[in-house]
Amino acid sequence: MQSVNPVNGAVLGRFDTWEWPRVDKALGLAASAAPEWAQTPLPDRAERLRRAAQILRQRRDQYAGIITQEMGKLSSEARAEIDKCAAVCDFYAGEGPRFLADAMLASDASRSLIAWQPLGTVLAVMPWNFPFWQVFRFAAPALMAGNTALLKHASNVPRCALAIEEVFREAGFPEGAFQTLMIPASAVEAVIRDRRVHAVTLTGSEPAGRAVAAAAGAVLKKAVLELGGSDPFVVLEDADLELTVQQAVASRFMNAGQSCIAAKRFVVLEGVAEAFLSRFREAVRALRPGDPSHEATTLAPMARTDLRDELHRQVQQSIAAGAVPLEGCEPVPGKGAWYRPSVLDQVGPGMPAYDEELFGPVAAILRARDEEDALRIANDTRFGLGGSVWTRDVARGEALARRLACGCAFVNGLVKSDPRLPFGGIKDSGYGRELSALGMREFLNAKTVWVR
Ligand code: NDP
């Protein structure tokens, strides 16, 4: 595994991948830690999570620096990511006992209830785009629930993977409670099949999701999948354009556009299209690409050159099929994974910008005749992760948001994850939920207890 700085292609480190005997040993450690960890009282589990939060806050700049070096995220965004990881640890330390309390139910028994019990060991296959957050969003609830965790992180963020293991170790989690496996994607299936692993969660691309779901299905193990998205951002004619444009730029260009819940398709009503576009283009032109460790930079490089090249192929094919490039739509020549902030107008069916996920700094503009047409276009996608509606009439916005075919619909706010709210998708964006009580319960046995 290689750690490569996407700013200039410099190799920061090389790490050996593990052969099976080393994986086997880690699986054994997880299995032997699991029963004791499941019996550890909740206040003790919570205390360790709070300690993990403290460590994250103390080493915020150090860990943020590793993120920026390995995948190119802006320093300010990387620091915010570390803060969010600390917050999710505190959230589950505080709310976990309530989520895990017996749920009493009335029945023909004198006493009947749901007892929430951990499944055992959960494998997390994670991506590089939020290399700390994606892991903590899974690990905080899973560990608080009494499961042990194994991390197979993306091959381009090995230093992040090892740093996360260090946080849990130093927070006092018992040996085997959280381990990073330095394995390639090709070794994941064998880990899923192993009887010491009870469930799997994956955040990443659709092909990876299909492979992991098939492997889990073959051995009847629980899986949660958080895959790609092509979220619509629906602008109605009565939208507050100042707020809408500011949030549109943040949603599309944050993390260099490499977020599953970034706004990707801007579905704009004809009546407001010109006004929206002129302000939006101006804001896009004002983005300052540059070194992500400089505070003045507002657009980061992409994480890898192969991802940048794939994005450019999608853009070129869209233009060949009739889309109109308004801004950017070109890689930046030279070393590093740079792509200009881009706006692609007149996007329609049959183009990659319409049918596929654009995982980079390219906004696709789709014009709609009226609200019903906007809803039709918004839902005309294989994906169903998030979506947002922008209007001064919040009742109208909520009514439309309820009709979006997705897992998370926002009105006058960009789609974001929040530990208090469930997060996840439908259709080809995957299944299951993360965060909130629902996320914690994905890896719990909802055991019915009936007493005469
Ligand atoms: P991948 O989906 O390939 O990587 C995500 C994780 O899955 C990594 O840990 C990867 O390991 C692992 N993985 C990949 N293939 C398999 C497999 N067959 N079996 C088991 N595990 C597997 O993402 P990429 O980095 O290649 O990015 C490609 C595209 O994926 C992006 O352009 C974007 O569209 C989408 N994506 C979506 C994300 C999201 O948040 N929804 C996050 C990242 C990517 P390894 O790194 O070793 O290959």
At CA 193, angle to CA 188 and CA 197, rounded to 5?
90
Spacing of C-alpha 347 from chain mean position: 26
CA pair distance 323, 315, nearest whole angstrom: 9
Instruction: Give me 161's structure tokens.
Output: 């993977």
Which one is catalytic: 85, 260, 329, 408?
A: 260
* E-state strands within 192-349: 199-203, 222-226, 231-235, 263-269, 324-327, 342-345
Residue 181's domain is classified under what CATH number?
3.40.605.10
Residue that the structure tokens 């700085």 belong to: 5
Instruction: Give me 280's structure tokens.
Output: 């939006």
Asked whether residue 336 falls in the same domain as residue 313, the answer is yes
421 lies in some domain = no
Of 192, 200, 205, 415, which is best to mutate to test ligand 1, by the most ligand atoms within 8 angstroms of its C-beta? 205
CA pair distance 146, 443, nearest whole angstrom: 10
Q: One-letter amino acid identity for 81? A: E
Domain extent for 435: 2-228+426-451
Q: Is 260 in the pocket of ligand 1 (CB under 6 A)?
A: yes
Asked whether residue 58 falls in the same domain as residue 158, the answer is yes
Asked whether residue 198 falls in the same domain as residue 308, the answer is no
Asked whether residue 292 falls in the same domain as residue 259, the answer is yes
55 lies in some domain = yes
285 lies in some domain = yes
Q: Is 184 in the pocket of ligand 1 (CB under 6 A)?
A: yes
Asked whether residue 105 falls in the same domain as residue 173, the answer is yes
168 lies in some domain = yes
Q: Is 146 in the pocket of ligand 1 (CB under 6 A)?
A: no
Domain total for the chain?
Answer: 2
Spacing of C-alpha 366 from chain mean position: 25
Asked whether residue 125 falls in the same domain as residue 9, the answer is yes
420 lies in some domain = no
Asked whether residue 180 falls in the same domain as residue 78, the answer is yes
pLDDT in tens, 11-25: 999 999 999 999 999
CA pair distance 449, 114, nearest whole angstrom: 6
CA pair distance 175, 397, nearest whole angstrom: 49
Which atom number of ligand 1 is nearest to the Cα of residue 152? 9
Could you tell me the end-to-end alpha-carbon distance of the chain, in angstroms, rounded to an integer?
57
Which atom number of ligand 1 is nearest to the Cα of residue 307? 32
Q: One-letter amino acid identity for 34? A: A
Question: What was the pLDDT predicted at 334?
Answer: 83
Asked whether residue 202 falls in the same domain as residue 258, the answer is no
Asked whether residue 164 falls in the same domain as residue 268, the answer is no
Question: What was the pLDDT predicted at 335?
Answer: 86
122 lies in some domain = yes
410: left (phi over 0), alpha (psi -120 to 50) or beta: beta
Question: What was the pLDDT predicted at 142?
Answer: 98
- Determine contact, residues 308/90, Cβ cutoff 8 Å: no
Question: What was the pLDDT predicted at 447?
Answer: 98
- 408-411 vs 386-390, strand pairing mode: parallel
- Determine contact, residues 223/199, Cβ cutoff 8 Å: yes
CA pair distance 169, 161, nearest whole angstrom: 13
Asked whether residue 285 falls in the same domain as residue 212, the answer is no
Q: Is 100 in the pocket of ligand 1 (CB under 6 A)?
A: no
CA pair distance 67, 292, nearest whole angstrom: 10
Reference 287, options 300, 303, 268, 277; nearest CA is 300
- pTM to 2 decimals? 0.97
Residue 353's domain is classified under what CATH number?
3.40.309.10
73 lies in some domain = yes
At CA 150, angle to CA 120 and CA 384, rounded to 5?
90
* β-sheet bridge partners, residue 342: 362
392 lies in some domain = yes
Question: From ligand 1's centre to the CA of 184, what distance in Å?
Answer: 11
pLDDT in tens, 189-216: 999 999 999 999 999 999 999 999 999 9
Question: From ligand 1's centre to the CA of 273, what distance in Å?
Answer: 35
Helix pair 42-58, 75-100: axis angle to 10 deg: 170
Task: Spell out the per-residue pLDDT of the chain, length 452, in tens.
Answer: 999 999 999 999 999 999 999 999 999 999 999 999 999 999 999 999 999 999 999 999 999 999 999 999 999 999 999 999 999 999 999 999 999 999 999 999 999 999 999 999 999 999 999 999 999 999 999 999 999 999 999 999 999 999 999 999 999 999 999 999 999 999 999 999 999 999 999 999 999 999 999 999 999 999 999 999 999 999 999 999 999 999 999 999 999 999 999 999 999 999 999 999 999 999 999 999 999 999 999 999 999 999 999 999 999 999 999 999 999 999 998 888 999 999 999 999 999 999 999 999 999 999 999 999 999 999 999 999 999 999 999 999 999 999 999 999 999 999 999 999 999 999 999 999 999 999 999 999 999 999 99
Predicted complex ipTM: 0.95
CA pair distance 30, 278, nearest whole angstrom: 55
Asked whether residue 59 falls in the same domain as residue 139, the answer is yes
Asked whether residue 43 falls in the same domain as residue 182, the answer is yes
* 367 membership: H or E segment, kind and range: strand 362-368
